[in-house]
């Protein structure tokens, strides 16, 4: 694929990117696209200034504002090869943009290059999903968002209802959806019931903030992570028309993205709805730059656990429950000390769902099973496999 046809290259001698960079800053640890063989890289940064289906006008200008701060950060491990492809040329119609982005992402995924998308509006998650659909790979989508982006089936696709379009795709390759950090006063109870009926999972902001470590297995189960910047409280990330007084703190957002980087399963991530017109002294753009820094730092510390490595050397725990009627098998990695649990599934579904039967979990799930209760993560996965 000739990426030069799709992208506007980055010029660090113009605008906000014009700066006297030192050798140890991020810009000098990566390459800017100039017809290189992209397959030689581990990570590709993509700016997508598309906002036509958003109610957050101004977010189209975000990519270079984030780059302004990202390029100046330091402390990167140079063993990870990173290329910045530039900004995607926006299509004549938004459908053209979706098609171009999904085609590019599909190509990168086939070559095991992990894309970091800087939006633009969050409906670009739909194009991200389509890249996996074209690969005929069932995927798990995790969204860090203050609300569920659900709407009516006949509504035009937008940043407020893209999840509905993903769920209704046929054939559908969405295995699981998880929301992290929803705020109850933004979410209709019918939508909460719908998520539950589909055996998807959602976690309230307060629930997550009480124990941020429990986010790790949720994110570790994701193929795609979509981060709506409005999930961060307004005082820390004001650059969004839907910003709210409540939300994650900046360091919590960075912790979540570091967990995502550490996951061997996650293969794409996107940051959306940053509106530079509303930013205060570049605060939000700087926050997103640091979130990307932590994601890359997590990537540098991947352990090649499941699904990359073998679990032959894992510690295996078998928990008999309900007077021996049921058994839950847990695995603990000898490399990272992270936990998984095995979920049985019908043999006829083996090929389609094999990559989903070993479910990331926490030590708390193991303790729950030891107390003769079925962990919620295990039950939801079992229902989807049955």
Tell me what the mean pLDDT of segment 307-326 comes to.
Answer: 82
Domain layout of the chain by residue ranges:
3-300, 315-385
Residues 6+ apart with CB under 8 A from 310: none
pLDDT at residue 346, rounded to an integer: 65
Tell me how far apart the alpha carbons of residues 248 and 242 are, in angstroms, rounded to a whole number: 14
* Contacts (Cβ under 8 Å, ≥6 apart) of 263: 219, 220, 221, 222, 298, 302
**Looking up tokens 């203050």, which residue turns up?**
146
Do the strands 43-48 and 7-8 form a parallel or antiparallel pair, or are they unpaired?
A: unpaired
pLDDT of residue 181 exceeding 80 = yes
62-77 pLDDT tens trace: 999 999 999 999 988 7
Q: Is the domain covering 3-300 a CATH 3.40.800.10 domain?
A: yes
Mean pLDDT of 116-137: 94
**Under DSSP, is residue 26 helix (H, G, I), strand (E, B) or coil?**
helix
Share of residues in the chain with pLDDT > 90 (%): 82
Per-residue pLDDT band at 136 (split at 50, 70, 90): confident
Query: Following DSSP, what letter does each residue of 97-112 receive, concatenated?
Result: HHHHHHHHHHHHHHTT
Q: How confident is the model at residue 352 (pLDDT cuts 50, 70, 90)?
A: low
**Per-residue pLDDT at 299:** 96
Looking at the DSSP bridge assignments, the partners of residue 149 are none
């Amino acid at each position: 694929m000739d990426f030069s046809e799709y992208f506007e290259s980055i010029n660090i001698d113009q605008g906000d990117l014009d700066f006297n960079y030192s050798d140890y800053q991020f810009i000098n640890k990566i390459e800017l696209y100039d017809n290189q063989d992209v397959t030689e890289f581990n990570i590709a940064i993509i700016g997508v200034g598309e906002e036509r289906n958003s109610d957050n006008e101004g977010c189209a200008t975000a990519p270079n504002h984030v780059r302004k701060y990202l390029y100046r950060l330091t402390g990167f491990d140079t063993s990870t090869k990173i290329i910045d492809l530039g900004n995607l040329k926006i299509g004549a119609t938004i459908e053209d943009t979706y098609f171009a982005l999904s085609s590019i992402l599909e190509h990168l995924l086939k070559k095991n290059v992990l894309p970091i998308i800087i939006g633009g509006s969050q409906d670009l998650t739909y194009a991200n999903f389509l890249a996996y659909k074209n690969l005929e790979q069932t995927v798990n989508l995790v969204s860090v968002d203050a609300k569920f982006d659900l709407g009516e089936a006949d509504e035009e696709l937008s940043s407020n209802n893209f999840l509905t379009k993903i769920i209704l795709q046929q054939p559908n390759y969405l295995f699981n959806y998880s929301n992290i950090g929803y705020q109850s006063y933004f979410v209709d109870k019918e939508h909460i019931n719908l998520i539950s009926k589909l055996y998807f999972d959602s976690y309230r902001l307060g629930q997550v903030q009480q124990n941020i470590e429990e986010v790790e297995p949720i994110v570790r189960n994701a193929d795609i992570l979509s981060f709506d910047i409005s999930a961060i409280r307004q005082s820390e990330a004001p650059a969004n028309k839907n910003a709210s007084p409540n939300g994650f703190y900046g360091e919590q957002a960075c912790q979540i993205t570091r967990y995502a980087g550490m996951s061997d399963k996650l293969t794409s991530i996107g940051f959306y709805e940053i509106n530079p017109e509303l930013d205060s002294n570049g605060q939000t753009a700087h926050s997103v730059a640091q979130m990307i820094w932590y994601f890359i730092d997590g990537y540098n510390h991947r352990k090649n656990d499941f699904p990359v490595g073998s679990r032959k050397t894992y510690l295996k725990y078998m928990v008999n429950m309900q007077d021996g009627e049921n058994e839950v098998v847990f695995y603990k990695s000898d490399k990272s000390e992270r936990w998984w649990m095995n979920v049985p599934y019908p043999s006829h579904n083996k090929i389609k769902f094999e990559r989903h039967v070993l479910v990331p979990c926490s030590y708390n799930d193991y303790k729950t099973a030891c107390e003769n209760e079925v962990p919620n993560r295990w039950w939801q996965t079992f229902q989807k496999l049955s």
